């Protein structure tokens, strides 16, 4: 059974109504992230149905995405509304044991609009980090052009059961440094590998295999010629990883190597999200 360490199933379903059938057909367990109650509720229902049907599991995450302040500011002008209702909702979920992870949270300093909200991103990040520490849940991170911000929190991150870097965009050296610091970090890779992004390729080839995860970030990271990403991209990403890595399987190439890689990556997934298949 394959695994997708980060996706937005509810958003994907709006574009691709057969997404859940596809996921089950592919035997894909996944971790889903929502940032509003409506999407979370939809995810939770899907997860319950999957459990009842003994279908591949869905692991549930919630957080205010670091891009939300900029998106909201663009819609409402300069006055950013209170996020406390959403944060309260998240705390209620965590207290009731309804979450497998806090995410995606983090820092997005990719462009000026996002950089304008750096202070509020930081404020929100701290709330998420505190909750993850209190509840001992893994943290799912979205980090763009902001690895320095992550390193500033390394002492706290060390005390988490896991830190999952979705669409890891740091360098190989930064990833290795996080592990050396004693952070239980996992690095998730998606279609960027297939699209030839050099830094992702270097990181995925060089980081320890027991730290590597696969993801689609569905629907948001489509391959060329597609309008959305979905579960069917996981085998394609796995192939890309298999070409990059010579460990984790027999020296002969092909399917046996890929299936060995897949089972190692699946084990990483369940370790990262604290669950079982």
Residues that bind Zn ion (CB under 5 A): 217
Smallest gap from Cβ 100 to Zn ion, in A, equals 15
- Would you say 174 or 217 has its CB closer to Zn ion? 217
CA 50-56-58 angle, to 5 degrees, is: 65
Smallest gap from Cβ 43 to Zn ion, in A, equals 13
Residue number of the CB closest to Zn ion reads: 217
- Would you say 221 or 242 has its CB closer to Zn ion? 221
Smallest gap from Cβ 51 to Zn ion, in A, equals 23
- Would you say 165 or 245 has its CB closer to Zn ion? 165
Smallest gap from Cβ 182 to Zn ion, in A, equals 26
- Would you say 44 or 217 has its CB closer to Zn ion? 217
Smallest gap from Cβ 65 to Zn ion, in A, equals 7
Question: Residue 203 and residue 110: Cα distance in Å, rounded?
Answer: 20
- Would you say 217 or 233 has its CB closer to Zn ion? 217
Q: Compute CA distances 200 → 50, 66, 98, whole Å.
A: 32, 21, 32
């Amino acid at each position: 059974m394959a695994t997708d360490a980060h996706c937005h199933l509810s958003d994907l379903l709006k574009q691709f109504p057969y997404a859940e059938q596809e996921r089950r057909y592919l035997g894909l367990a996944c971790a889903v992230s929502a940032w509003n109650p409506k999407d979370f509720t939809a995810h939770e229902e899907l997860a319950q149905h999957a459990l009842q049907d003994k279908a591949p599991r869905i692991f549930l995450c919630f957080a205010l995405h670091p891009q939300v302040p900029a998106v909201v500011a663009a819609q409402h002008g300069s006055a950013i509304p209170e996020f406390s209702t959403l944060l309260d909702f998240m705390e209620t979920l965590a207290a009731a044991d309804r979450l497998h992870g806090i995410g995606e949270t983090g820092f997005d300093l990719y462009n000026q609009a996002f950089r304008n909200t750096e202070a509020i991103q930081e404020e929100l990040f701290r709330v998420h980090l505190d909750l993850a520490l209190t509840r001992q849940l893994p943290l799912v991170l979205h980090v763009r052009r902001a690895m320095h911000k992550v390193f500033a929190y390394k002492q706290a991150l060390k005390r988490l059961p896991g830190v999952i870097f979705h669409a890891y965009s740091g360098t190989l050296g930064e990833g290795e440094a996080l592990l050396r610091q004693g952070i239980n970090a996992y690095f998730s890779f998606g279609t960027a590998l297939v699209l030839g992004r050099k830094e992702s390729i270097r990181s995925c080839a060089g980081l320890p295999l027991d730290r590597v995860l696969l993801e689609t970030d569905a629907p948001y990271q489509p391959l060329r010629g597609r309008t959305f990403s979905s579960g069917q991209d996981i085998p394609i990403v796995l192939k890309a990883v298999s070409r990059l890595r010579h460990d984790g399987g027999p020296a002969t190439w092909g399917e046996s190597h890929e299936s060995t890689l897949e089972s190692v990556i699946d084990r990483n997934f369940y370790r990262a999200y604290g669950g079982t298949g």
